[in-house]
Structure 1
Amino acid sequence: MSTAFISHADSLQHEMGSHHPECPARVQAIEDQLILSRIDAYLTYIDPPLATEQQLALVHTPEHIERVKSNSPTSGYYAIDGDTTMNPHTWQAALRSAGGAIAAVDAVMNKKASNAFSCLRPPGHHAEPHQAMGFCFFNNVAIAAKYALEHYGLERVAVIDFDVHHGNGTEAAFINEPRVLMCSYFQHPFYPYSEPRTDLPNMVNVPLPAYTSGPAVREVVELGWMPRLREFKPQFIFISAGFDAHREDDMGQMGLVEADYAWITRQLMTVANETAEGRIVSCLEGGYNLSALARSVVAHLKELADL
């Protein structure tokens, strides 16, 4: 089996203004780098469906879903907040992004792929059950994790978040959910200026100061995440794959490089192979320096695809 790569043209239709960092060029840069690195031929491409409102409701309140839907503009833009804006294509792109994460679960669970990377936008890990924020409308990874639990009857899944920003939406979705273990690191204090929960048995959230570099992050993974993951024995691993902790990305102030993302991916694959039959679904989150983003995604995919 190969690694599934999930993409769709809807991701290019959603945009939030000509100078917004969360832009269609992010996906285009990744796809160009796949060709340049010559790994595109080793991937299985999947065209995802739209998520249903019932699937969104696995994580989000009916009021939130209706609010996003009803505010979809017929022209121009509608601002959810200062960072998060809808255009006429955003609603469908958001459904497609959540649908891609669900399609990734189906592909892996039905053994059509060993693992999967969903290269869709808008991203999701800031979206809380009751609100959109931080470029995110629906929490794709949280929806996919809940779908795996409910639709396939899994008992334990892990959600890993290595974005430079705290995955507040994912944390909010799974607080005190014993079937989910969340492991993350992130720059702190930093957007979204939330106070991460470090006191809960199913949360391994590790705040890190600005200018933290790869060796310190690897220590967090090795000494913090890995023992808890092995103790938890997840049957599926989900990754909120944000690459904005790269040292070339001005959105954050951390110092990772491609080799660090490859190393983290290898560690997660080791656990997945031990306890989850290798099952991993990774979803694109942040990453705003186009070159660093594209190179990091390729490093991540090379490990997933064992290339």
Structure 2
Amino acid sequence: MITALLYDPFFAVHDSGAGHPESPMRYTALVAALEDDREASALPRLSPRPATTRELAYCHGAGYIELAHNRIKGGHRSLGHPDTNVGPGSWDAAVHAAGGAMTAVDAVFNGSIRSVFCVVRPPGHHARPKQGMGFCIFNNIALAARHAQITHGVERVLIVDWDVHHGNGTQEMFYDDPSVLFFSTHQSNWFPYSGAARETGEGAGEGYTINCPFPAGTGIGPILEAFRDRLLPAAKEFQPELVLISAGFDALAVDPLGAFRLHPEDFDELTKMTMEIADASAEGRIVSLLEGGYDLEGLTSAALIHVHALAG
């Protein structure tokens, strides 16, 4: 199995403003760590392409896509939501983040590559169908799932979200859709204040959303238990053909935007458990997309461990 990396200088041009935690340094620090690491630097590298307006419309309304484009190109510093700051380069970064996710999906279906870690920004899992939110412009992981279904005929996609913040946008995209199983571990009573255990889907999608909220101070133990007791059985029944990871590293104890107590080495086991699922039914196909993670040292350490696990 071959693991690839996807990154590009486009992802450093998105600038949310001085002092903002979602800064270009997240990209430059992580890429520098990957390129300095002997194992990671030897992995093949993919280059993203921009998503088209038609592709963005897989998950987002035409009015919102136009609003985002016009506000960014018009020089505005936010999309209107108070926590979604933008800058002059944000449109190019956002469409390449979405298109990069699709490029990675194509790679795991069209060749010898079986897993990809994508160093993309802005992140995506808070972006709603008609609204940017929580540092996110477009929902990269939701767009990857729809691209897999539309372009490659995939019938069942699993999304595993271990970011400390609940992926409310991703949940909303697929809440009534039984073709996407969404599993999330996250901090309870924390931004975006969604993801209660009782939120399990609706209509045909009932039971295809699995939320595992935990209180501040949670370490790896309860999260591993949720993976073993909730995710593994559900995935065994669901039999996904593709596994997507919302790979946020803000669950680390050192992260300034969360209050979990994970350590970088904990992501080795989380990654390997997710790989077990992909190996069982998806021929090992995993696309992992960077979400949160705002302590640069913690982010780079945890992401390297994640990449080493993917690469075997």
Q: Among the aligned pairs, what percent are the same residue?
A: 40
Matched-pair contact (CA < 8 Å) for 2:161–2:248: yes
More displaced 10-residue stretch of structure 1: 192-201 or 137-146: 192-201
| Equivalence for 1:287 | 293
Matched, 1:146 2:117: no
What is the CA distance between 1:75 and its match in structure 2? 4.3
1:254 corresponds to which of 255, 260, 279: 260
Matched, 1:21 2:21: yes
**Paired residue type of 1:184:** S
Shift of the 128–76 alpha-carbon distance from structure 1 to 2, 3 Å rule, reads: closer
- State the distance in 1 between where 2:158 and 2:56 align: 19
More displaced 10-residue stretch of structure 1: 199-208 or 242-251: 199-208
| Equivalence for 2:231 | 225
More displaced 10-residue stretch of structure 1: 133-142 or 187-196: 187-196
What is the CA distance between 1:195 and its match in structure 2? 4.9
- State the distance in 2 between where 1:172 and 1:225 align: 19
What is the CA distance between 1:78 and its match in structure 2? 3.5
What is the CA distance between 1:37 and its match in structure 2? 3.0
- State the distance in 2 between where 1:165 and 1:296 align: 17
Give a deviation string over 1:199-239, Cα, whole Å, max 9, x none.
Answer: 63101111111100011111111111111011111000000
- State the distance in 2 between where 1:149 and 1:84 align: 29
What is the CA distance between 1:188 and its match in structure 2? 0.7
- State the distance in 2 between where 1:195 and 1:259 align: 26
Matched, 1:10 2:18: no
Give a deviation string over 1:69-96, Cα, whole Å, max 9, x none.
Answer: 1111454624532221111111111000
Unaligned runs of 5+ in 2: none
What is the CA distance between 1:4 and its match in structure 2? 1.4
Residue 297 of structure 1 aligns to a residue whose secondary structure is: helix
| Equivalence for 1:125 | 125
Residue 115 of structure 1 aligns to a residue whose secondary structure is: strand
Q: So what's the TM-score if we normalise by structure 2? A: 0.95
What is the CA distance between 1:113 and its match in structure 2? 1.1
Unaligned runs of 5+ in 1: none
Matched, 1:86 2:86: yes
Matched, 1:198 2:200: yes
Matched, 1:163 2:183: no
**Paired residue type of 1:224:** R
1:207 corresponds to which of 184, 208, 213: 213
More displaced 10-residue stretch of structure 1: 41-50 or 280-289: 41-50
| Equivalence for 1:60 | 60
The runs of 4+ residues in structure 1 deviating greater than 4 Å are none
Q: So what's the TM-score if we normalise by structure 1? A: 0.97
| Equivalence for 1:182 | 182
The aligned length equals 306
What is the CA distance between 1:189 and its match in structure 2? 0.4
Matched-pair contact (CA < 8 Å) for 1:218–1:260: no
- State the distance in 1 between where 2:75 and 2:193 align: 32
Q: How is 1:36-75 mapped onto 2 (pairs within 5 angstroms)?
A: 36-75=36-75
Matched-pair contact (CA < 8 Å) for 1:80–1:133: no
- State the distance in 1 between where 2:152 and 2:189 align: 38
| Equivalence for 2:31 | 31
- State the distance in 2 between where 1:79 and 1:137 align: 8
